[in-house]
Structure 1
């Protein structure tokens, strides 16, 4: 625990001195939707280039208000009495990349992308568990994206996409969790704000390892992001159209430290921060560094 406190103190000190140390001319601000998806001709980069997709970050410390000590007992063959002893504090990191496979499909307008995101929760401070990974979530995607330019209110709808999404934790029964979705993505810009609305349809699964996941996690996601100078904020909200007492919200603040090094503070509340926790409600707070955002 002493080592953890040293990490937290270090991150606090470097974040508090960010304004005096940072070289603002060298920092990269949040990308707009055209830059993210290479919509306009000036932003086209060609195919098979590996670029960042979702945020890439490392949280040196993530505290949870509720440990999921025993994965929720499911029905039938997915039931488990396994007991685990987890710490409330762990590390968390996310990596995410995408590459364009084909450019100019469907009358020269559509682009086909492949994306991959991996999220890890690591009990690095838990010596009793041999510092094991508590949960790993893998999320490959195929994305068909179209540029649009539709005026709406004082902004513009800039993109429309269709996504085939698979997410799983790679575990065996009874702690295996996975689902498949067809996701629509609508991207909207207003001044320095970006908004992405992603409703989805969960594809049927005869062996449902996480029954009722849409009741807990939701069937749509809303992502809002902006920046003020070199300080970036983004929020991710998952909710259901049928029930309003569940879902989740994630708040993120990315701040300059020195050069391209940026700090990252994250607060999460609700269900489904990971697949193994899809029906567990908790509040988590994480602090670390950010390497890439939307």
Structure 2
């Protein structure tokens, strides 16, 4: 297929050119790496006021995103398949994500807390599927309201830097029978040491279990908590994201690995490997392994 061959060629050329040239042309001081305080404006010296757009989750485009078992017949737990026949989907598609946050209230609650609004959107685009007129297979929208509080104490050799709570909504904006959405209250704790950052996030679903639930038992598949472990050095970033249902019976979850390497300034090559449930909302109870290759645009 021409599109796939072209995408592979562009990525291969970028990678090989970078490997040959980054030692000659890339300056280490051009690589921006944010501490937790800089990313979330925790210390007084890092405060930047309100209503300034900042990066949040990874911001990337993957021209090649392959699944070993793409979900051709979406089906919620305990319900009939959404379609009478499997959809003729391609196993290779384009995946991209945009994400940003902005502080809307600074130094509230005894002058220590900050209130942020975050937004993340993930797209799975069947751009190589000419037979189906190249549709977007799945779009996930995730706005959230985050209350954040700085910390400063030692925990198991790490410096605890912040804790807080968020109200999180996630939806694919689709009508029945492929509508998917849920609301969560998410607690978070962030730790830092040298080149490592760790985010721990347990959550509780709000309003699930009713008869008109779009995605029953989603927390049993996507999970009830996640641990995000990030390592950065010399512009290279490695990230391991673990999610789990925290259930001894029928335990489910997922693991995602991201590796980002410097190309030029804040432009990075991006490799992503995922295995488990909940790669997106339409696949919340669908097990698959995916591999994506593309570029990231900003540090996170």
Is TM more than 0.5 here? yes
Task: Give the count of matched residue pairs.
Answer: 293
Asked if 1 retains the 8 angstrom alpha-carbon contact of 2:31 and 2:265, the reply is: no
State the 1:210 CA deviation: 0.7
Out of 247, 270, 278, the residue aligned to residue 264 of structure 1 is 270
CA RMSD of aligned residues (A): 1.6
State the 1:164 CA deviation: 0.1
Structure number with higher relative contact order (C-alpha < 8 Å, ≥ 6 residues apart): 1
Alpha-carbon separation, structure 1, partners of 2:206 and 2:152:
30
State the 1:241 CA deviation: 1.2
Alpha-carbon separation, structure 2, partners of 1:103 and 1:142:
14
Matched position secondary structure for 1:107: coil
Deviations 1:121-173 (A, max 9, x none): 00000001111000000000000000000111222110001000000000001
State the 1:26 CA deviation: 5.2
Alpha-carbon separation, structure 2, partners of 1:260 and 1:235:
20
* 1:51 corresponds to: 54
TM-score by length of 2: 0.93
Indicate how the Cα distance of structure 1 residues 234 and 27 shifts in structure 2: closer, same or farther if over 3 A, else same. farther
Is there any run of 5+ residues in structure 1 with no aligned partner, and where? none
Instruction: Kindly report which structure 2 residues correspond to 1:171-186, keeping only aligned pairs within 5 A, or say none.
Output: 171-186=174-189
TM-score by length of 1: 0.95
Asked if 2 retains the 8 angstrom alpha-carbon contact of 1:121 and 1:133, the reply is: yes
Deviations 1:21-79 (A, max 9, x none): 23123533432111111001111110000111111000011000001111115546x75
Out of 146, 152, 157, the residue aligned to residue 155 of structure 2 is 152
Is there any run of 5+ residues in structure 2 with no aligned partner, and where? none
State the 1:4 CA deviation: 1.1
Indicate how the Cα distance of structure 1 residues 193 and 231 shifts in structure 2: closer, same or farther if over 3 A, else same. same
* 1:221 corresponds to: 226
Find runs of 4+ consecutive structure 1 residues off by over 3 angstroms: 73-76
